[in-house]
């Protein structure tokens, strides 16, 4: 009988040790996964910020494209030619008076 008790006691002790070891391994796995998930969350937030910045740049480029297209349409008008002749060539209509500023240098 004493021998049976010793064997049963050893088995219980081994079972407890096995449970403790398995529990420690599970806890270590949880810690490692937790640390990894924190890193992934930080990376995800950085990527979201990058996406937002890129979307802002895209919106600005669309606005710039519209401005360029509008200017291209303007350059094909008669008003553009008139404005260019006024500004660059100094041409005026008949009867139009031109005033020039004096240089006070």
Over residues 19-73, the pLDDT tens digits come to 999 999 999 999 999 999 999 999 999 999 999 999 999 999 999 999 999 999 9
Contacts of residue 92, defined as CB under 8 A and 6 or more positions apart, other chains included, come to 86, 98
What is d(CA 3, CA 91) in angstroms, rounded to the nearest whole number? 122
The model's pTM is 0.53
Contacts of residue 85, defined as CB under 8 A and 6 or more positions apart, other chains included, come to 91
Taking the domains of the chain in order of start, what are their residue ranges? 2-89
pLDDT(5) > 80: no
**Predicted local confidence at residue 100, as pLDDT:** 74
């Amino acid at each position: 009988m004493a021998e049976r008790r010793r064997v049963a006691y050893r088995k219980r002790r081994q079972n407890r040790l096995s449970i403790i070891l398995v529990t420690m391994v599970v806890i270590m796995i949880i810690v490692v996964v937790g640390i990894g998930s924190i890193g992934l969350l930080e990376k995800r937030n950085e990527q979201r910020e990058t996406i937002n910045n890129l979307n802002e740049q895209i919106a600005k480029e669309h606005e710039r494209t519209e401005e360029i297209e509008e200017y291209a349409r303007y350059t094909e008008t008669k008003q553009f030619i008139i404005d260019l002749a006024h500004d660059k060539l100094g041409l005026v209509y008949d009867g139009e008076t031109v005033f020039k500023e004096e240089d006070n240098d």
